[in-house]
Structure 1
Amino acid sequence: MFHTSPIKIESINNNGVAGSCLFFSDDVYVMTASGSYYVYEAYFDCVRASQLYDEVIISEIAEHFDCDLKLAESLLDASENEWCQDFDCDAEKSWWLQEKRGQCAVKMGFDGCEDEDENGTVYIIPMLGREDELKLIEVVNG
């Protein structure tokens, strides 16, 4: 799987746009101006977003989006889209929700979660303390 980043990843913390989660795809794609990408080759046990469930995380989502628990559960399992609701949503809230999907997958015993975004299938993997599992590939132009 592949991850693109506009900067070299020296360390991963919980302060990224989606906490410690990185987003991977099956193909190299350019989402940022970058001369490099990362390869993640470790075995990856993922769960589909549609299978996610955790009452604590659902409560956090309900509070964050100011919605009821039923909608929060649907936001977690991606059966409802956060952009199509009556509440305000921006990129930060959407990334926060994707972070919660990654966290929920780990709580359920998986490495991460398979989800969909504007680029197609994406794998959300919490990577805190796992920098050594990433292999940097420098792209030479010209």
Structure 2
Amino acid sequence: MQLFHTSPSEIKEINELGRFGDFLFFSNDEYVMTAGEHVVYSIEIDEEQIIEASQLFYHEDAEKLEALVSELAEELEIDEDDAEALIEESKSIYDIESNVEAEDMAEASWNIQLYTARAAKALGFRGVEVEDEQGSAFMIAMQGNENELVKQ
């Protein structure tokens, strides 16, 4: 499948230092979320390398996600059922009681998306399909795979 990523600048190297670690967001179609100049990249990726967020805890190795669930539950001061629901996107941070202040909800929801991507990676997938304000999006681990990015 072909996916697209839009960047405000040319990508030379991917590391784990940004908000989403080594994951980049992709979509089925080109989209622009930045003002001014931008660069569009595409990749070809096998659909078998991507899992839907809603399927994470149905995977045969779902027990590998217990540490991530516990980590998120502790971070947000919530129970593990809610942490699991956040990771699989059956609930959002706006749906539960947590230690997140109202003005920090958007940032917390982005942090949760990273947990979702980390869960996919823990299960051996390269990426995860998530839902965001644009609809379906794909978080794909790209560190060491920069050569797969094709500038459009």
- TM over 0.5: same fold? yes
| Percent identity over paired residues | 41
8 Å CA contact 1:19, 1:96 repeated in 2: no
Where does residue 96 of structure 2 map in the other structure? Answer: 85
Paired position in structure 2 for 1:140: none
- The equivalent residue for 1:29 is 31
Structure 1 contact 17–92 (Cα < 8 Å) conserved: no
Shift of 1:78: 0.6
Q: Does 1:50 align with 2:65?
A: no
Residue number among 124, 135, 140 corresponding to 1:120 in the alignment: 135
How far, CA to CA, are the matches of 2:122 and 2:142 in structure 1? 14
Question: Where does residue 122 of structure 2 map in the other structure?
Answer: 107
Aligned counterparts of 2:94 and 2:147: Cα–Cα separation in 1: 35
Structure 1 SS opposite 2:10: coil
Correspondence 1:94 to 2:94: no
How far has the Cα of 1:85 moved from its partner?
A: 2.7
> What secondary structure, in the 3-state scheme, does the structure 2 residue paired with 1:124 have?
strand
Gaps of 5+ in 2: 58-64
Superposition TM-score, scaled by structure 1 size: 0.88
1:108 positional shift? 1.0
Which residue does 2:13 correspond to in 1? 11
* 1:106-139, Cα deviation, whole Å (9 max, x unpaired): 21121111110001000111212111111122xx
**Displacement, 1:31?**
0.8
Could you state the TM-score of these two structures normalised by the residue count of structure 2?
0.83
Question: Which structure: greater helix fraction?
Answer: 2
Displacement after TM superposition at 1:95 (Å): 2.2
Tell me the SS of whatever aligns to 2:128.
Answer: strand
Give the Cα–Cα distance (whole angstroms) in 1 for the partners of residues 54 and 45 of structure 2. Answer: 23
Q: Does the CA-based 8 Å contact 2:23-2:117 persist in structure 1?
A: yes
One of 43, 49, 73 as aligned partner of 1:62 = 73
Which stretch of the first structure deviates more once superposed, 127-136 or 70-79?
127-136
CA RMSD, 1 decimal:
1.5
Distance 2:112 2:150 in 1: 27
CA drift of 1:90 comes to 3.5
Uncovered stretches (5+) of structure 1, i.e. residues with no partner: 138-142
